[in-house]
Amino acid sequence: MDKETTAWTREEQDLFEKYLLGTIEVHEKSALKSRLQSEPELNAKFLEFKGLFRAIEEKGLRKKLEDFHGNLEDDGKLKHFDFRKHKIIFRAAATIVLLIALGGMWHLFVPNHNERLFNEYFTPDPGLPTVMGNSDNYDFYEAMVNYKQGNYKAATVKWEDLLLQKKDNDTLFYFLGAAYLANGEPSKAIPYFDRVLKSDNPSFQNEAAFYNGLAHLKINEVEAALKSLEQSSDEKGRALAKQLRH
């Protein structure tokens, strides 16, 4: 598994940047050093930030040098280059590039409001007891075992095959929706939950309304999420709907 990229807070970014650019106040520098020694997590964040900062700064410097070496006087001699004079330029360029990069990373790694709510309220449906004795339903329960083991892809494949034989089965519709949502595919889950909600059979309708609301929320369809959650009598569904209205 790839190492997860660190998400810095805005305050940490500003503090680390000032330290690396040498613009930090003396008391701030002293306080930061103390924290880096006593807070391993903060120190790890700082080292990762520093590595990215130096890489970007080095890349910016290399580009400046390439441009400089390509700029010759008429007599073929290189112009005199004062590193001290251009130091601030390199730092400013590196800072701009770094802030652009971090701005993108901030939006990438900090979840938005809808995503935070989804993560707070979503847990996969626990599924049905896997009674394997009935041969008529063996394929269904075999897929249920896959589902309960977290192998949602295998479960959806088997239930999709069963759906070809049982075209109006609300149980299949519901658990296909549940499996697709648990597998991170809300757009595929929604049509199955909708089929359950349009059915005259009350089985799974309350659950389908709640999870359908979560599926819409996952793809930032807040109005559709509210419409579905309002069909649910589930306490969590009402609580989520209340948060979405504010």
pLDDT in tens, 234-245: 899 999 999 998
Answer for the pair 179, 159: CB distance below 8 angstroms, yes or no.
yes
Helices then strands, each counted (H, E), the chain: 12, 0
Answer for the pair 205, 230: CB distance below 8 angstroms, yes or no.
no
Burial of 154 from C-beta contacts in 10 A (0-12 / 13-18 / 19+): middle
Whether residue 157 is found in the same domain as residue 212: yes
Q: How does the average pLDDT of the chain come out, rounded?
A: 80
- 163, HSE (Cβ side, Cα atoms, 13 Å): 18
Is the pLDDT reported for residue 203 higher than 50?
Answer: yes
Answer for the pair 121, 240: CB distance below 8 angstroms, yes or no.
yes
On whether residue 3 sits in a domain, the answer given is no
What integer is the mean pLDDT of 146-162? 94
Q: What is the pLDDT, as a whole number, of residue 209?
A: 96
Q: What is the pLDDT, as a whole number, of residue 95?
A: 59
Number of separate domains in the chain: 2
d(CA 63, CA 56) in angstroms, rounded, equals 11
Whether residue 225 is found in the same domain as residue 191: yes
- Its domain, for residue 189, covers 118-245
Whether residue 133 is found in the same domain as residue 92: no
At residue 154 the predicted structure's pLDDT band, cuts being 50, 70 and 90, is very high
Q: Which of 165, 218, 228, 222 is nearest to 196 (CA)?
A: 228
Whether residue 137 is found in the same domain as residue 203: yes
Is the pLDDT reported for residue 67 higher than 70?
Answer: no
Q: Which of 81, 110, 139 is the last residue of a domain?
A: 110
pTM above 0.85, yes or no: no
Q: Which of 89, 110, 131 is the last residue of a domain?
A: 110
Q: Which residues pair with residue 78 across a beta bridge?
A: 72
Q: What is the pLDDT, as a whole number, of residue 15?
A: 86
Whether residue 18 is found in the same domain as residue 97: yes
d(CA 171, CA 46) in angstroms, rounded, equals 51
Q: What are phi and psi of 78, to 5 degrees?
A: -70, 145
